[in-house]
Amino acid sequence: MNMNRWKSAGSLTVFLITMALLLTGCGGVLDPKGPVAREQLQLINLSFIIMIVVLIIVFGLFFYVLVRFRKRKGQTGVPEQVEGNHKLEIIWTVIPFLLLIVIAVPTVLYTFKFATDYTKDKNAIHVKVTGHQFWWEFEYIDKDLGLITANELIIPVGKKIALELTSADTLHSFWVPQLGGKMDTNPGLINKMYLEADVAAIYQGKCAELCGASHALMNFKVIAKSEADFAAWASRMKAEAVIPEEAKAGEAIFTAKCLSCHAVSSEDRGAYPNLDGYAYRTRVAGVHPNDPDAVNLREWLSNTDHVKPGNNMGNQGLTDDEINELIKYLHELK
């Protein structure tokens, strides 16, 4: 290899490593924050270490043979041909077989463990997740919760979150890299998984299955809170929002133009994202920050297609005045 070849091989390696990190959720998988993700990382590490050791030994032998038995000056004719060495054949059949057992046993055990159904567990929080183009619906099934929310899944730390996942339209895939592996959502099917978060934090969630124009924008958050904060959030969600006088005009516009699709009580479903507790959402449409000046909300209401191409809301043709009133109202949904 000449210098240029080495250089391009170097850049290719850097490119591949960068891509691998990007594809694993910018390293989120390598930084687990819950027992499921941690156990999954242990499986990855086990396979990875075994593969690296095999790689080093195989390539070591390969290069040794390449150098040791190379054709030397003055050497002519075909070298001595060796085949059918039983001892060697047994060694290189048995070793990979043992290595596969070492990988297979924990993989199978954990695969069954990750499929444990906690939906009937009294101590678990039971949530139905529905993927929509291009947002996520979270419905708390437990009778004393009974809430519906969108794009932000609020959970208590240290508790099993039993998820039942499905889709309202096409295939999506639910993925929170720091909490656990992906799970597809299929129309007409219920897939189950569970997650658990160690610490109160906001975890990035992604749709991991190409599902249309705004697949890459089908983001969500899992917000883990302490048990007390979680209970406070739930009771706040259950309480009816008190709309002050200055937001009443916005409420009227919302009732006339938006309410047929967007419920504002977490006991109602609505065909599109439930906006109960909107004031507390960290993101507008799951994409841009829900900033206090409502720059992003204004952009969204002016032209949703600009923010999330191909979404079902489209351009509602709201006037600037209507948007101003709606912003006031939405910020009162507490």
> Contact positions toward ligand CUA, by CB under 6 A?
131, 134, 172, 207, 209-211, 215, 218
Residues 151 and 280: their CA atoms lie apart, in Å, by 12
Tell me the closest approach of the beta carbon of residue 21 to ligand CUA, in angstroms. 20
Q: Which is nearer to ligand CUA, 133 or 328 (CB)?
A: 133
Q: In sequence order, what are the residues at sequence separation of 6 or more whose Cβ sits closer than 8 angstroms to the Cβ of residue 298?
A: 323, 327
Tell me the closest approach of the beta carbon of residue 185 to ligand CUA, in angstroms. 8
Question: Positive or negative CA dihedral for 14, 16, 22, 25?
Answer: negative
Given phi > 0 = left and psi -120 to 50 = alpha, else beta, which region is 299? alpha
Answer yes or no: are the C-beta atoms of 124 and 194 closer than 8 Å: yes
Tell me the closest approach of the beta carbon of residue 29 to ligand CUA, in angstroms. 18
Tell me the closest approach of the beta carbon of residue 215 to ligand CUA, in angstroms. 3
Q: Which is nearer to ligand CUA, 165 or 330 (CB)?
A: 165
Answer yes or no: are the C-beta atoms of 195 and 116 closer than 8 Å: no
Tell me the closest approach of the beta carbon of residue 232 to ligand CUA, in angstroms. 31
Q: Which is nearer to ligand CUA, 288 or 331 (CB)?
A: 288
Q: Which is nearer to ligand CUA, 131 or 156 (CB)?
A: 131
Q: Which is nearer to ligand CUA, 134 or 300 (CB)?
A: 134
What DSSP string describes 60-110?
Answer: HHHHHHHHHTPPPTT--SPPPP----HHHHHHHHHHHHHHHHHHHHHHHHH
Answer yes or no: are the C-beta atoms of 274 and 148 closer than 8 Å: yes
Answer yes or no: are the C-beta atoms of 290 and 284 closer than 8 Å: yes
Answer yes or no: are the C-beta atoms of 300 and 228 closer than 8 Å: no
Q: Which is nearer to ligand CUA, 156 or 177 (CB)?
A: 177
Tell me the closest approach of the beta carbon of residue 218 to ligand CUA, in angstroms. 4
